[in-house]
Structure 1
Amino acid sequence: MNGTEAAAMPTDQEIVDAYLYLFGRLLVARQENHDIDVERVGWNTIKYNPLGSAEFVNPNLDVAYLEAWIAVDPSHAVTLQVPEIVGRYYTVQVVDVWGEVIANINERNFPDHPFGAVAFRLAGTTPPTPDGALVIDLPGRKAKILARVELKSTPDEAVALQKSFRIEAPDGIVIDPPPTIPDFSNASLPGADAFAAGPALLATAPDAMPDAARYARLVEVIADRIADDSAATAAVDEVIRTKAWPAFLAGTKGFGTQRNGWSVAFAAGRFGNDVLARDIVDYGGLWANTVDEAIYDVGQLGSDGALLDGGAAYEIRFPADEPSNLVDAFWSLTLYSVPDYRVVPNPIDRYGINSESPLTPNDDGSVSIWIAPKRPAASPEANWLPSPAGSGFSLNLRLYVARKPALAGEWFPPPIAVVSTAG
């Protein structure tokens, strides 16, 4: 701030609000730094993820993934060539640097241009683009794209389609390096140093959140107040540790709409003013899509009300035809470690169960999925999802192109019934 009089310190609640707002941007910036500086994937370069892996949190292993960081400037657009895909789910998800979905390119959203050339340009500019290209305006100079091609029962065909995506980028694009942010992990969150980096970080890209300007102003005031003031820095750090962190972590235990031990955020992908929902999604599942593409039911609590324990045994009993009758595309259930939300190695290399799994029904037509460190005696081999003995875990049930009962919040997954406790 300008002037000789320092700004008054915001209230504790304002510090919490500003921190939680800034945290969502920090999470995406951390991923950008990892992808560019650690993974060295490069700008405007497709990374064709091998089947069964994805170098980000909460991957869906039922699709062939490809990802890329797109960088444009006022004089240059970047073109993605999308192959024609028929008879299997696919989408090209375009996300800004806050985790907000800009567009999904597929036959549902762009029936007149579901494939072919897609040109990305900076909003408000008119660089050259290919004739007939679908033009997507980006709010900032950087965006992330993730394309998903359903494996179905023919993964080789899905991989061939995956490798058919191409990026064409002209020479001369001016690209800023990844933003400078404090080091942190999901288990060790940033403190007051987040505000030191805040104003410069927020200046890198606009935010679609309606209340963004108010939050950004708070970040600026706090950053100015703690600059060269160790006592103010310590006071802000104390508020973050005693109030902001607990508020965030409490939200991760159950957010959005909750039932049967599951939570779902119908704001995923486009968050409005829901700062906490954006934080939680960016923390536990970067690049979450909008609900018309995918609903993410997150399972964290067993039927006893306790957090899921990898040493216990659980049964999820779906009524006959569920969840297949709730989707127009496919469904999958994947198990992740906490707090890092990565797939968990296990002796049978099974990380999820999906629409293509050869599940054995119960005598009444229902289908049980069993989760335990060792296969329960009652579980058919195909119905067992191994869990990590000695640690907690989280479940993610994805419903791709969900039907009305799930979209309207009228349907929830069945309880995660405790069959036996750890040990």
Structure 2
Amino acid sequence: MRSIHQLALVFGVIAAGVGVQHPVLAGPAPAQARSIAQEAYIYGYPIVEAYKTLYAQAVDKGGPNFKAPFNEIGNSANVFTPKDTAIITPNSDTPYSFVWMDLRAEPIVLTLPPIDAKRYYSVQLIDLYTHNFAYLGTRSTGNKGGVFVIAGPGWKGSKPAKATKLIRSESSIAYAIYRTQAFDADDLANVRKIQEGYKVQTLSAFLGKQPPAPAVAIEWPRPQDGMTDSPALFRYLNFMLQFAPTDPSETALMKRFASIGVGAGRPFDDAKLDPTMQEVLAGGIADGKAQFAQFKKTKVDSREVASGDFFGTRAFLKNNYLYRYTGAALGIFGNSAEEASYPAYFTDNHGEPLNAAASRYTMHFAKGELPPAEAFWSVTMYDGKSKLLVDNPINRYLINSRMVDALKRDPDGSLTLYVQHDSPGADKESNWLPAPSGPFYAIMRIYMPKPEVVSGKWQRPPLAKVE
């Protein structure tokens, strides 16, 4: 087997157009190969979409979205704005901290300080498959802090005596997303102090011992435009799978994928594909997109399935790759259901797509029917095309539970939000959630949802078109 370094070099040479001959359709017939390509696209999209974030935040040091090198923490001392483009459908009510962990040589130790019991925070641990394999923080481990050892699949050690908990990742590269609640703009200084207490160390540094030999350097391939919409996706997928050992439940799957050239570390030059293979793979990707579009229309938009179905551990998702794809396509790195609920708004009360260039909308909460949250809730606006936050004259990207006291109530004690492009007027502007002049969607987030949310007893109100 080639070393990771050798494979990275092979990838780089191939990307430059000097690669080895790629296999053509000598195995499965075109129709079967197209079906396998569709399956591989649905499977691989979240992994490659995650790579975009990895590269932007931990590799591209000169880029606008760089946060910190591997095994170091990068803190964002403010909330997300339209200028932040590394993550689609971002949350803008909790300042983030980020750690991309390289677990190949040894585990990484995350130390959390004690935090005020009234403030929500969490550390979401994500592997390269985009599984949420564990959580730290208010709901899962409390606000008293602790020392948590994150180990890769190749580490055979046990929990150090000084550590609170040992957590294992399926992949040797993993991601930690910290969310620290900010009560309002004046609270950001307090958030920064908390972020300063988040500590990241290698296990050897934590124990005061000699470090092991470093892992070989990785030559990370630069992302290219359209990489998740073309056969180039399989090139990046092959590269990423080197760091994610095959789960026994996926052995047969990987054997099928190998018949079209997809597999961990396999050389894949999409620019040199046999014309028939190029057509087959592109067709499989188109079929995968159509499969998702149909699923979104019939299951997601109708609310037959909820956001909580798309995020979680491997055991929770049960290798439902369409669900995992849907989570990545609608808002990658979303929280598991027990951590947060994400009621989504893609259509209005008539089932029509949302478009603020043509219509105005309201969201009405009856008295006593605000989202039931143990921590807090928010409703955030996104551009339907870019999937990013929407620039607007009042710099408001969301309305959340901390803002409720400043909103204007209806005479009966209910609450109406105005969701539209233009201001609803000075008397209603306090309740205005600005939308782009065109397609949009909105995501409600309920952190630490109460049982009535999880059970479905509480239902989010519709986004009603103003007739």
The normalised TM-score by structure 2 is 0.79
Letter in 1 for 2:196: K
CA separation in 2, counterparts of 1:401 and 1:122? 28
CA separation in 2, counterparts of 1:5 and 1:31? 33
Alignment partner for residue 356 of structure 2, among 290, 305, 310?
A: 310
Aligned counterpart, 2:46: 24
Alignment partner for residue 278 of structure 2, among 221, 224, 234?
A: 234
Q: Indicate the SS of the match to 1:6.
A: coil
Contact 1:338 1:393 in 2 (8 A): yes
Q: Which runs of 5+ in 2 are unaligned?
A: 1-22, 206-210
CA separation in 1, counterparts of 2:252 and 2:71? 33
CA 1:257–1:245 in 2, change beyond 3 Å: closer, same or farther? closer
CA 1:378–1:17 in 2, change beyond 3 Å: closer, same or farther? farther
Shift of 1:5: 10
Contact 2:41 2:288 in 1 (8 A): yes
Alignment partner for residue 309 of structure 2, among 255, 259, 266?
A: 266
Letter in 1 for 2:241: L
Aligned counterpart, 1:45: 72
Shift of 1:181: 7.5
CA offsets, 1:99-149, max 9 Å, x none?
Answer: 1101111243235x9512222222442288572342222222111101111
Contact 2:36 2:284 in 1 (8 A): no
Aligned counterpart, 1:59: 90
Shift of 1:254: 6.2
Matches within 5 A, 1:282-297: 282-297=328-343
CA separation in 2, counterparts of 1:145 and 1:108? 16
Contact 1:98 1:207 in 2 (8 A): no
Contact 1:257 1:264 in 2 (8 A): no
Aligned counterpart, 2:431: 383
Percent identity reads 22
Contact 2:94 2:180 in 1 (8 A): yes
Letter in 2 for 1:304: H
Q: Which runs of 5+ in 1 are unaligned?
A: none
CA 1:175–1:336 in 2, change beyond 3 Å: closer, same or farther? farther
Letter in 2 for 1:397: M
- The more displaced of 271-280 and 173-182 is 173-182
Shift of 1:278: 1.1
Contact 1:199 1:219 in 2 (8 A): no
CA offsets, 1:61-117, max 9 Å, x none?
Answer: 11121111011225x222112011122111111111121101111243235x95122
Matches within 5 A, 1:163-174: 163-169=196-202, 170=205, 173-174=214-215
CA separation in 2, counterparts of 1:5 and 1:184? 26
Q: Indicate the SS of the match to 1:417.
A: strand
Letter in 2 for 1:236: V
Letter in 1 for 2:46: G
CA offsets, 1:279-332, max 9 Å, x none?
Answer: 1211232211111000111111012322111322100101112324x1111000
CA separation in 2, counterparts of 1:175 and 1:130? 29
Aligned counterpart, 1:399: 446
Count matched residues. Answer: 410
Letter in 1 for 2:411: D
CA separation in 2, counterparts of 1:5 and 1:416? 49
Alignment partner for residue 373 of structure 1, among 376, 401, 421?
A: 421
Does residue 120 (structure 1) correspond to residue 166 (structure 2)? The answer is no
Aligned counterpart, 1:84: 114
RMSD between aligned alpha carbons?
3.0
CA offsets, 1:17-38, max 9 Å, x none?
Answer: 2221121211112221222224
Larger fraction in strand: 1
CA separation in 1, counterparts of 2:125 and 2:190? 24
Contact 1:180 1:201 in 2 (8 A): no
Letter in 2 for 1:234: Q
CA separation in 1, counterparts of 2:251 and 2:421? 48
CA offsets, 1:212-242, max 9 Å, x none?
Answer: 3333222211117998651332331342354
Larger fraction in helix: 2
CA offsets, 1:324-379, max 9 Å, x none?
Answer: 4x111100000011233211111100000000112222112211111111122496
